[in-house]
Structure 1
Amino acid sequence: MKNKILVIGSINYDLVVYAQRHPIPGETILGNRFYTFPGGKGANQAIAAARLGGNVQMVGHIGNDAFGQELLLNLKKNQVETQLVRKVKEPTGTALITVDAAGENTIIVVPGANATLKKADIDELKDTIREAKILLLQLEIPLEVVIHTIDIAHSFGTTIILNPAPAAQIPIETLRKVTFIIPNECELAFLSGKETDTFANCRQAANYLFALGCQQIILTRGEHGAYYLSQDQQIFAPPFKVSVVDTTAAGDAFIGGLAAALAEDLELHTALFRASAAGALAVTKAGAQTSLPDRIKLETFLSKHQQEVKTTKNQLESNQNYAEIKRSKK
């Protein structure tokens, strides 16, 4: 099916501690709560898109252990196709997450089985990549595999979405082949080597990448909203006002929401609007995949925030019209 969203990425088991604050190096503090959640950026984005109506297939490796079996069942429960999820000898990947009272998190990922994905595995999937409408990638699997996958997908004309997290040095010739690069401010700084402490600096960092041949960037800035950026266009997606509990999977919810909307051939400004709403909903609940909204919850949220929805739509459409006028003058 040509509307398929193919996710090639990590499948992790998250071990999450909630504390009043993050400890400093060498310090021991007491936490408030401890939970385990299914996670991994790849699996998170796959489930985020599937819950919002996307036709999603997951490619990844898990260990032949209890964590892996639980994660596999969870993907199936969320209507993600798992025929290409393989069990390997290495243990299932894990993520150690701490969340403070403000909902801000720090994450250490132990790749485990995720690190066993090879270029040869991707070569076996060329037909699957060719048939996909959208390919979603992150950097919790080996970078050489990501680069190889992008090369193959680009040769087929597949829409490629790359979430460059955790940040890594990616060859510029690879970034040029990506349809949408979706970093946060830290990841944009890493890719560009520029400061991103203000939006003006973020724009300059993006312009630097455009000068090198990158196509389109969607910058996520948390409570400051999201921006679609290209050489001659800028669209701002304002944030929704919500009570923050845990920001762990906000970016994954946004990306999954965007992919689901684009797979339905929705306009870019509408896709950004729905992605922002999905990200906002995700921060109101604890955990990664447990916080990802389904389509009913998203529509209910949009209905309850009608005034914000109206304002956001007007802003997005205004930005879109401005960008079209700007292009027409060139």
Structure 2
Amino acid sequence: MDKKFLVIGDIDTDLFLKVDHIPTWDEGLLADESQMLPGGKGANTTVQLAALGPKVSLMSCIGDDVFGKIGLTNLKNNELIDTSFIKTTSNPTTYCVMLLDNTGEKAIVVAPSVDIYPSLKMIEDSKCDFSSYENVHIIGLNPSKTLEYIEYLKQFDVSISVDLDSANGSEKQLLSIIDKSDIIFINKQGLHKLIKNVDDDVAVKKLGKKCKNTTIVCTLGSKGVMQVSNKEFTFEKANKINPVDTTGSGDSFIAGWLYVNFCLKDYNVSTKLKFANNCGETLALCLGGQGILLKNPEIGKDKIEFYEPFDAFGYLCNLSIYPFEYEGTIWPTSEQCYQAYKHTDEDYRRKIRECDDIYEVIELGRNVDSGSYDEYRWMTERVDVMYDIVLAKFSQNEDIKRLLLLTGDAKLIEHTKNDDFWGDNFDGTGENQLGKVLMKVRETLRKQSKRVDFESNN
């Protein structure tokens, strides 16, 4: 893929505290879990856009401190992300404390830095060839700097998009930003700061009339998304999900929209909005704003290759840790369950279940001299057993169930040279039985979801 994008925005680090509920005034409570993850709208959008395939540059600034190093390390580990325009300053890196309850709702406290966004001088001195990019995307939470960026970028032949989010700033500044940009992303709260006392669709149409040459994309949270472009209005409803964390969902939506708009131009507006919706919803099933995004939420690729539990599609791997119940027993991984059921002795199965070393698990499973292994029985029923186990895993873990359904009709392939039965033997000559099992499970879950939706509507 030869498309390139540039993001001008922020990098920060997010400290997540999982709590039972968001506290009220003067209330103290203990966090159930804590985790520190890289964040920032600019960095989030960059990571999610790169996950979809194109090369992305991020122009930003950070402090020479632990928070800056956390954010920068994650970006540098991605070969599709160019970090050469990220400058280190003497001021501290911005960080956020996020309180996250069991419903996925959150409260955020930001400790901002003086240098959240790069100065215009940093941009001018960067020697960046802006015209080489398909699109320059600006995080527009600082209206004054955003206007400076836009005025400077107008000399280059490049598309400019701005994420206004909740529309901070004066009405005059915001309308000027919208009018001078090619694409604007704004949420419902921001929209109604500009167009008051009317319904959502009326508001976005009115804003479109004020800024006729700008494509306006307005997200409505769980309701969906609206778009106005060249007087054409489109609404696309959201899918129903049970979010884990909505941090960065808007950034992921924008990444999906930019990708499908500039890289998959043959799709109509409705399909593009569905794609972007799926990107935002997929990220909401993970903690943090830089979880790995699916490379093809329903469209974009016709096959998905997986193998390791920590890669982009690691949840498809039997080694990934998603506990589930099978025949009355809780299993940490589907691999342990599968290896154990090669044997009929309950004590031997328990030994495999309680083993912490996955290599030892596989060795125990392959032990044909255990005294309870029947090769004929196992060779006859192993595919059916694998299907039952994998179905249990995905049925009982809503997050990965949703991710599996979002793969659409893509062919799922265990891509390994180590197995020509369960995998593809790395060259396509293998039977790919695990991939076939996963696709069968996906179809079963899809039918179950449609049946539940039908019953709930009747």
Q: TM-score range with shorter-chain normalisation?
A: 0.7 to 0.9
1:189 aligned residue: 192
- Structure 1 CA distance, aligned partners of 2:200 and 2:222? 15
Q: For each residue in 1:180-206, what CA deviation from the matched residue of structure 2 results, as whole angstroms up to 9, or x when unmatched? A: 21111112122x1514xxxx6112222
The alignment partner of 1:234 has SS state of strand
Counterpart residue number, 1:149? 149
Q: Secondary structure at the match of 1:168?
A: coil
**Aligned mates of 2:29, 2:293 — CA distance in 1:** 29
C-alpha spacing 1:236/1:147, structure 2 compared with 1 (3 Å): same
| CA–CA separation in structure 1 for the residues paired with 2:14 and 2:139 | 17
Counterpart residue identity of residue 249, structure 2: A
Counterpart-to-counterpart distance in 2, 1:107 and 1:21: 13
* Cα drift, residue 293 of structure 1: 3.6
What is the CA-CA distance between 1:128 and the residue it aligns to?
A: 2.7
Q: Which amino acid aligns with 1:175?
A: I
Q: Is the 8 A contact 1:249 1:292 kept in 2?
A: no
C-alpha RMSD of matched pairs (Å): 2.6
C-alpha distance in structure 2 between counterparts of 1:81 and 1:65, whole Å:
21
Tell me what 2:60 maps to.
60
Equivalent residues of 1:16, 1:36 under 8 A apart: yes
The yes-or-no answer on 1:250 pairing with 2:249 is: yes
Equivalent residue, structure 1, for 2:219: 220
The corresponding residue for 1:14 is 14
Change (3 A) 1:256 1:156: same
Structure 1 residue 291: deviation in Å? Answer: 5.5
Q: Shift in Å at residue 302 of structure 1?
A: 3.1
CA pair 229-10 structure 1, distance change in 2 beyond 3 A: same
Partner of 1:290: 291
Residue matched to 1:322: none
SS in 2 for 1:281: helix
Which amino acid in the other structure matches residue 188 of structure 1? L
Q: Residue 114 of structure 1: SS of its match in structure 2? A: coil
* Structure 2 CA distance for partners of 1:293 and 1:67, relative to 1, 3 Å: farther
CA distance in 2, matches of 1:173, 1:224: 28
Aligned counterpart, 1:205: 203
CA contact (8 A) 1:61 1:113 kept: no
Q: What SS does the corresponding residue of 1:112 show, helix, strand or coil?
A: coil
Q: Answer 1 or 2: higher relative contact order, Cα 8 Å, separation at least 6.
A: 1
- SS of residue in 1 equivalent to 2:115: helix
Match of 1:204, as an amino acid?
Answer: V
Aligned mates of 2:5, 2:273 — CA distance in 1: 17
Partners of 2:52 and 2:293 within 8 A in 1: no
Look up the match of 1:314: none
1:302 to 407, 424, 444: 407
Unpaired stretches in structure 2, ≥5 consecutive residues: 297-303, 305-312, 314-402, 410-441, 451-458
Q: 3-state DSSP class of the match of 1:246?
A: coil
Residues in 1 aligned to 2:268 and 2:76: alpha-carbon distance in whole angstroms? 29
Please show how residues 234-245 of structure 1 align to structure 2 within 5 Å.
234-245=233-244
Q: Contact (CA 8 Å) 2:166, 2:189: kept in 1 or not?
A: no
Judged with a 3 Å threshold, the aligned counterparts in structure 2 of structure 1 residues 113 and 83 are, in CA distance, closer, same or farther, namely farther
Q: CA deviation at 1:299?
A: 8.8
SS in 2 for 1:27: coil
Q: Say which is worse superposed, 260-269 or 283-292, in terms of deviation.
A: 260-269
Cα deviation, residue 262, structure 1:
2.3
Runs of 4+ residues deviating >4 angstroms: 294-300, 304-308
Q: Return the TM-score normalized by structure 2.
A: 0.61
Distance 1:35 1:276 in 2: 26
The structure-2 alpha-carbon separation of the partners of 1:249 and 1:263, relative to structure 1 and needing over 3 Å to count, comes to same
Alpha carbons of 1:62 and 1:303: their partners in 2 closer, same or farther (altered >3 Å)?
same
Distance in 1, Cα, partners of 2:252 & 2:110: 19
Aligned counterpart, 1:315: none
Residue identity matched to 1:255:
I
Within a 5 Å distance, the mapping from 1:1-330 to structure 2 comes to: 3-78=3-78, 79-112=80-113, 114-115=115-116, 117-125=118-126, 127-140=128-141, 142-165=142-165, 167-169=167-169, 170-190=173-193, 192-195=194-197, 201-213=199-211, 215-230=214-229, 232-266=231-265, 267-269=267-269, 270-290=271-291, 292-295=293-296, 296=304, 297=313, 301-303=406-408
Measure, in 1, the Cα distance between the counterparts of 2:3 and 2:404: 21
Task: Provide the identity percentage.
Answer: 26
Report the TM-score, using the length of structure 1 for normalisation.
0.82
Matched residue type, 1:303 = G
Structure-1 separation of matches of 2:257 and 2:230:
21
Contact 1:139 1:146 in 2 (8 A): yes
Which string of whole-angstrom CA distances, capped at 9 and with x for unpartnered residues, describes residues 125-179 of structure 1?
A: 4753222111111135x43221111123334342222111353123422210112
Deviations 1:64-103 (A, max 9, x none): 1122122112102123110001111011111121222211
Once the two structures are superposed, residues 218-260 of structure 1 have per-residue CA deviations (whole angstroms, 9 ceiling, x without a partner) of 1112221112124621222232233311111111111111112
| Matched residue SS, 2:35 | strand
Question: Aligned partners of 1:122 and 1:261: how far apart in 2?
Answer: 27
Matched residue of 2:31: which SS? coil
Tell whether the 8 Å contact from 1:262 to 1:268 is kept in structure 2 after alignment.
Answer: no
Determine the C-alpha separation between the residues in 2 that align with 1:154 and 1:82.
23
SS at the partner of 2:129?
Answer: helix
Q: Which protein shows a greater Rg?
A: 2
Q: Given that residues 166 and 187 in structure 2 are in contact (C-alpha distance below 8 angstroms), is that contact kept between their aligned partners in structure 1?
A: no
